[in-house]
């Protein structure tokens, strides 16, 4: 962004601009790491502020509250990572992150039908969150990095006023506020990558600026996760994953995916009033309520490695920093501090990477001055498709709450068409491939209306979906 930061302000030369700019990024998760990496090309100094202390290896840390749960990196996210850090996907694979072919490797149940296990049309990485963060952190903060880190410190507010942000206030984590009340870090650019629990709206209000309008949609979905090891001698079941997706008529979900370190992750989910328990007996009993016993049977033979961890902060929240209101130049939000999704759709890490690419492209666009407003709109656009998918599905869940309009007559034709897409994707390879590419964030939603897909959706014969999970993939 320009040093002035205003929508129409004059722009200094890149060398002059960079020489006097300091960028601070709040949060050392994936979104913060990637944003800091991008900013090294546009600021003389970049500082990453993290509440935790980074572990030496791929270990859990409290600042990532979901790192004990299932994570996937969609193909769209993998492509974005490669644009930012060439070769990083290969590093993830070398460190043991499994690569799962869809639909070939997975038994997937949705809207009352099993998917055919046809040739793969997309792949997901299913390594643990600590592994993914560590591999990216190793590249971004490794030897030669120009990023400085401030660990064990939390941001308590912003410096500046309603027209411009000029830094952040800090305190050492664990100390009373009065002990470090005077600690400040001046900056020309502040990027909030602190996640869905971001306190930036209240920080902006304290400067006299207007906090963003928040769009919220909550289904009440809760989930519980446990990691397992396959017992020695257990026969290969013929699949590498199970994916049972809940719907309004069937409120129980379950996912089995391979992890690094010869481990597996099992996540059970339920909508409001059907939350999965976190005790051994209750966990197994919940799995027995799924529409097929395949996952429950697997659990009976597997070896638990961890306690069962529950999680309930699963609402969709989008903070409209692009909307009307007086907000200071020099401030940006990215990742889940900008747009947080129902985790069941597996979009968070991928959107963090897509936002970082959008940040890079907006800052280097030769056609437009990269003002705060323009860059923030680019970040929101990078998250838009994932938001449309997540909120679009969740708005039809009975009992969903929030301020997102639901049940509007204008939405009915689109909802009807997309319901046919989901039903036909289970057995029609043409529709299935198009549907997976949209969900993997590699193709726009409009591709579902391309002539070959629309023809199959509207006029094709009812696809012959398997009535039982295919234990052997086709072809």
Structure tokens at 369: 């001055």
Task: Dihedral sign for Cα 49, 316, 271, 243, please.
Answer: negative
10 SS3 class: coil
Structure tokens at 171: 């305190």
Supply the CATH classification number for the domain 221-311: 3.30.70.2450
pLDDT at 19: 45
Cβ atoms within 10 Å of 385's Cβ, excluding its own: 19
Burial grade of 267 (CB within 10 A; 0-12, 13-18, 19 or more): buried
Identify the weakest region by mean pLDDT among 16-25, 31-40, 88-97. 16-25
List, in sequence order, the alpha helices (H) in 196-245: 200-206
216 SS3 class: strand
Half-sphere exposure of 232 (CA within 13 A, CB side): 0
Structure tokens at 87: 């070769």
Q: Could you tell me if 339 and 383 are in contact, meaning their C-beta atoms sit under 8 angstroms apart?
A: yes
pLDDT at 249: 79
How many Å apart are CA 456 and CA 448, to the nearest integer? 10
Q: Could you tell me if 254 and 245 are in contact, meaning their C-beta atoms sit under 8 angstroms apart?
A: no
Cβ atoms within 10 Å of 380's Cβ, excluding its own: 22
- At residue 180 the predicted structure's pLDDT band, cuts being 50, 70 and 90, is low
Q: Which of 204, 218, 214, 197 is nearest to 315 (CA)?
A: 218
pLDDT at 313: 85
For strands 165-172 and 184-186, give the pairing.
antiparallel
Structure tokens at 32: 């913060």
pLDDT at 181: 59
162 SS3 class: coil
- 179 φ/ψ angles, rounded to the nearest 5 degrees: -70, -30
Task: Give the start-to-end residue ranges of the domains of the chain.
Answer: 14-71+134-216+314-391, 221-311, 409-459
CATH of range 14-71+134-216+314-391; options 3.40.50.11900, 3.50.50.60, 3.20.20.70, 3.40.50.300: 3.50.50.60
Q: 224 pLDDT exceeds 80?
A: yes
Task: Dihedral sign for Cα 398, 445, 460, 472, please.
Answer: negative
pLDDT at 408: 77
Cβ atoms within 10 Å of 337's Cβ, excluding its own: 28
For the segment 418-443, the average pLDDT, to the nearest whole number, is: 95
429 SS3 class: helix
């Amino acid at each position: 962004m320009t040093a002035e930061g205003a929508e129409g302000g004059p722009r200094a030369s890149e060398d002059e601009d960079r020489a006097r700019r300091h960028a601070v990024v709040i949060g050392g998760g994936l979104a913060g790491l990637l944003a800091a990496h991008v900013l090294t090309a546009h600021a003389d100094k970049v500082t990453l502020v993290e509440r935790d202390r980074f572990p030496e290896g791929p270990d859990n840390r409290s600042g990532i509250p979901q790192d004990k749960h299932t994570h996937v990196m969609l193909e769209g996210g993998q492509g974005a990572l490669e644009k930012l850090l060439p070769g990083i996907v290969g590093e993830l694979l070398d460190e043991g992150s499994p690569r799962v072919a869809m639909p070939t490797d997975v038994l997937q149940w949705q809207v009352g039908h099993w998917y055919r296990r046809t040739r793969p049309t997309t792949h997901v990485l299913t390594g643990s969150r600590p592994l993914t963060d560590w591999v990216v952190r190793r590249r971004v903060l490794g030897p030669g990095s120009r990023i400085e880190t401030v660990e064990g410190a939390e941001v308590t507010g912003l410096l500046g006023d309603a027209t411009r942000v000029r830094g952040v206030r800090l305190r050492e984590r664990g100390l009373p506020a009065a002990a470090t009340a005077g600690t400040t870090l001046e900056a020309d650019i502040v990027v909030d990558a602190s996640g869905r629990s971001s306190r930036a709206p209240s920080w902006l209000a304290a400067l006299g600026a207007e906090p963003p309008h928040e769009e919220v949609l909550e289904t009440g979905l809760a989930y519980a996760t446990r990691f397992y090891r396959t017992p020695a001698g257990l026969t290969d079941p013929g699949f590498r994953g199970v994916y049972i997706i809940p719907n309004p008529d069937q409120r129980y979900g379950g996912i089995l995916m391979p992890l690094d370190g010869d481990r597996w992750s099992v996540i059970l989910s339920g909508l409001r009033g059907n939350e999965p328990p976190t005790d051994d007996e209750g966990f197994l009993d919940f799995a027995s309520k799924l529409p097929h016993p395949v996952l429950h049977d697997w659990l009976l033979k597997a070896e638990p490695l961890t306690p069962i961890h529950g999680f309930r902060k699963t609402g969709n929240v989008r903070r409209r920093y692009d909307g009307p209101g007086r907000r200071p130049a020099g401030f940006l939000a990215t990742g889940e501090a900008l747009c947080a999704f129902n985790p069941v759709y597996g979009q968070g890490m991928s959107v963090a990477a897509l936002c970082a690419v959008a940040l890079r492209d907006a800052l280097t666009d030769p056609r437009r001055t990269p003002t705060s407003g323009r860059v923030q709109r680019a970040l929101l656009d990078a998250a838009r498709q994932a938001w449309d998918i997540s909120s679009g599905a969740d708005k039809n869940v009975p009992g969903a709450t929030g301020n997102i309009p639901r049940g509007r007559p204008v939405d009915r034709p689109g909802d009807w068409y997309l319901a046919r897409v989901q039903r036909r994707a289970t057995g029609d390879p043409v529709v299935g491939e198009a549907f997976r590419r949209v969900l993997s964030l590699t193709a726009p939603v409009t591709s579902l209306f391309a002539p070959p897909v629309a023809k199959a959706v509207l006029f094709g014969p009812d696809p012959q979906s398997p009535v039982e999970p295919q234990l052997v993939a086709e072809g």
